[in-house]
Amino acid sequence: MNKYLSIIGMIMLLALTSCGTVSVSSDYDRNVNFQQFKTFAFHEKGLNNLKMNDLDKRRVVAAVQQNLEEKGLTMANSENSADLIVNLVAKTQKHVNVDVDPWYNPWWAGLWGPYGYNGYWGAPNVRKYHDGTLIIDLVNRKNNTLVWQGMGEGLNLYKLSDKVERIPKAVNEILYFYPPKK
């Protein structure tokens, strides 16, 4: 009995932790020496077009800035003096999930029940949620080419309760692979 309870507990824990994670991937130009980049700046036009509210935008920018500074880069005074230009892109997709509770027959006395009643399907359950993707592009300012890109999928910015913690965590997970190890 305890064996089954521990298995059920592990399955539930896995289900809960998998719902809150951000799926991360990255890509980079294999011909670039990333040690040459010392400074960075945010692409102003990209920030102005970033599809998120101002609070979340400031949280993302602060998390990216802190992460890159911890990796040894310095924030430049302007885009024109930076080695790397950071461009941020956010996308959201709305999902609707509908399911129905299983068949229910309160009488269990046969196909039509004791009073000719055959039971019913449960009420439909409708869940609406938003799934977000945050893309961080690092562009070489000298030749205006993309040298590194990180993407985090599954970030829910519509859940207000803990996004103050989730945004920096997602940015850290995305930038974990910068600079790339050769």
What does the pLDDT look like over 30-74, one tens digit per residue? 999 999 999 999 999 988 888 888 999 999 999 999 999 999 999
Strands of the chain (E only): list them: 23-28, 39-42, 74-75, 84-100, 124-140, 145-155
| Protein fold of 22-96+128-177 | Double Stranded RNA Binding Domain (3.30.160)
Structural tokens at position 17: 């932790």
Contact 95, 130 (CB under 8 A): yes
What does the pLDDT look like over 66-119, one tens digit per residue? 999 999 999 999 999 999 999 999 887 776 777 776 655 555 555 555 555 555
Task: Report pTM.
Answer: 0.71
Per-residue burial over 146-162, b if 16 or more Cβ lie within 10 Å, else e, is ebbbbbbbbbbbeeeee
Structural tokens at position 58: 């400031």
Structural tokens at position 144: 């205006």
